[in-house]
């Protein structure tokens, strides 16, 4: 396997190319956003640091401890009101949740509206509901202040800001990051966006990063002709 700590000159081209072709989408996405691969033990600390940055960016407290859950609910709703964001129940969001049954919440940029159900039956369900509302509220703030932000960064910021990454410190390497965060959450939301864009345009829209050639040419700085020469020689 390609080891990032080794100088690229000392690694055979075939190993680099094989490594890139064997990467899965979640690994490519992580490297595209953070510049770090899953075999880098520092990636979890990177997520924790980014969380602090993003929560400060959107004027959210680093922790809600001592806030009181009902007070935090009011706090989020006050931010929404100040930014003219309407919060509605999922039943008032047309057919979106019928067509997207796995979605916990949604932000409609056309109407500056959030769709989410707040379940305050107990502390755990209340907290999860507010986390969803907070995620969608961040999307509303992104639209207002950073309208040209790419979908990958939009979802990364929203999921990172609302995540709990302390548990990932117990994982060996970064497999926990891969399975829990990038694969299970971030990738699904981003793929949904690309599917919607493809449907709108009547042609498939693909992310530039979900290709081995993107990394081989832009990150590993390999000549496209050389890449094909190596691949052809392997197939012979």
3-state helix, strand, coil split of the chain in percent (to 5) is 60, 5, 35
The predicted pLDDT at position 134 comes to: 97
Q: How far apart are CA 147 and CA 53, in angstroms?
A: 19
What residues of the chain score a pLDDT lower than 70? Answer: 1-11, 166-179, 234-236
The predicted pLDDT at position 22 comes to: 94
CA distances from 184 to 71, 78, 102, 125, 177 (A): 30, 31, 12, 20, 10
Q: Which two tokens stand for residue 226?
A: 């050389």
Residue with token string 């979900």: 210
The predicted pLDDT at position 170 comes to: 58
The predicted pLDDT at position 168 comes to: 63
The pTM assigned to this predicted structure is: 0.88
Where in the chain does DSSP place strands (E)?
86-88, 105-108, 113-116
Q: Which of 115, 107, 69, 60 is nearest to 88 (CA)?
A: 115
**CB 103 within 8 Å of CB 97:** yes
Q: What is the pLDDT of residues 69-114, one digit of tens each?
A: 999 999 999 999 999 999 999 999 999 999 888 889 999 999 999 9
Q: Which two tokens stand for residue 30?
A: 């992580």
Residue 29 burial (CB count, 10 A): 24
The predicted pLDDT at position 236 comes to: 59
The predicted pLDDT at position 4 comes to: 47
The predicted pLDDT at position 175 comes to: 65
Q: Please, which residues have CB within 8 angstroms of residue 28's CB and are 6 or more apart in sequence?
A: 209, 210, 211, 214, 215
The predicted pLDDT at position 180 comes to: 73
């Amino acid at each position: 396997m390609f080891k990032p700590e080794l100088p690229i000159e000392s690694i055979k081209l075939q190993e680099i190319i094989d490594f890139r072709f064997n990467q899965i989408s979640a690994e490519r996405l992580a490297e595209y956003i953070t510049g770090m691969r899953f075999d880098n033990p520092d990636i979890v600390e990177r997520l924790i640091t980014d969380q602090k940055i993003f929560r400060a960016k959107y004027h959210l407290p680093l922790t809600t401890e001592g806030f009181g859950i009902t007070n935090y609910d009011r706090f989020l709703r006050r931010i929404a009101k100040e930014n003219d964001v309407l919060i509605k129940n999922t039943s008032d969001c047309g057919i979106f949740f019928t067509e997207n049954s796995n979605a916990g919440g949604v932000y409609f940029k056309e109407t500056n509206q959030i769709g989410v159900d707040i379940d305050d039956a107990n502390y755990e369900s209340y907290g999860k509901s507010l986390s969803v509302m907070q995620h969608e509220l961040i999307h509303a703030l992104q639209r207002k202040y950073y309208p040209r932000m790419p979908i990958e960064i939009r979802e990364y910021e929203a999921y990172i800001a609302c995540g709990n990454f302390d548990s990932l410190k117990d994982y060996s390497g970064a497999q926990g990051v891969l399975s829990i965060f990038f694969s299970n959450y971030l990738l699904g939301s981003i793929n949904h966006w690309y599917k919607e864009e493809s449907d709108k345009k009547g042609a498939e829209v693909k992310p530039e990063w979900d290709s081995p050639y993107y990394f081989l040419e832009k990150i590993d700085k390999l000549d496209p002709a050389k890449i094909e020469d190596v691949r052809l020689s392997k197939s012979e």
